[in-house]
Structure 1
Amino acid sequence: MDDQAILTTLPVLPVKRTVLFPGVLMPVSIGRESSIAAVDAALKTEDKTIIVVSQRDPEQEQPTTDDLYSIGTKAVVKQVARPDGSTIHALVQGIDRAVLLRVEKTDPYLMVRSRHLPNPSDSGPEIDAMHRAIVELVRALPNLIEAPGIQDAVTALSDEEDPVALAYRVASFLNLTVAGEQKLLEAQTCADLLRG
């Protein structure tokens, strides 16, 4: 079966002011009852998967699919801590992109039917050149930033051979707007992603 034709029904975790990229591990603090219920539902499944989708308006406390971007990231809930009764802290790891197709249910949490969206896979001399340029910029970071662990991060990033994975990982470190991050997540070609 074609990867693009794979349909799944999964709980949705709406997030504010950030975008989760495939391959990236991200901590999330969750306080909404519906979002906690979505994470709990994912934890009850064997693969612990959920779709993490960014909200268009971070002030919206009860987002519907109209308040969310239509492309998110299928993720695995890796870890959950419950420090008090009203919030949870979760660690989610992006797996791949997903297109939200239709709502399956809204109570007690949002669940949607989604379709797998393959990562961009175009290649060629232009992609190779942009990939090398990004690696060179990453290698220059220790000269520009003094931060604990920067050299380890640079080593990990500069060893990344997949231009898409590199772009997603670098984007997760940058201080981009949600709209800017979402544009990268939605990019249909490597060239568009690397130019973004």
Structure 2
Amino acid sequence: MSEQLLSKILGKLESIDTRLSNVENRIGSLEDRMGNVENRIGSLEDRMGNVENRIGSLEDRMGSLEGRMGSLEDRMGSLEGRMGSLEDRIGSLEGRMGNVEEQSGETNQIVKALMHRTEELDAKFDGLLHTVVTKECIAPLATREDIARIAETQELHTQWLRKLSADTTQHELEINRLKVAK
């Protein structure tokens, strides 16, 4: 073989050796970069694990909140039902109050009329007391039955006045109670 050929082969081998050194340097650089990437991926995986844990915790809390919200919605529905019932009862009571007020007005008029009539009867009774005659004077005019009927009428009148007074007091108490309730 000739020297020239050997020299050419040596030149090519040196060129290949240089190129291999460059490739090895590049591979080393790529390995360093790959190590950095792997480190970053490891860090990202750790962070991702933390995020997943936090998401799991948030999902648990969200489930708890949804359960509580469902419970609150149920309670709200129950309260709305009770509120509707109360509104119905209030409407009924308002209707009854209207009837009571109407009856109270009628009762007041009746009581006023009875009071007026009582005053008239008191005046007539007072007038009768002034015109009472003695038994001796009436004896020739009235029979025993007449005197008994007059006494009975006076007793009935007295009982009626007592009852009227008691009824009036009862009506006044009822009116005052209704006014207070109103």
For this structure pair, what is the TM-score category when the shorter chain's length is used for normalisation? under 0.3
TM-score (normalised: structure 2) = 0.18
TM-score (normalised: structure 1) = 0.17
**More helix, by proportion:** 2
RCO (CA 8 Å, sep 6+): is it higher in 1 or 2?
2
Rg larger for: 2
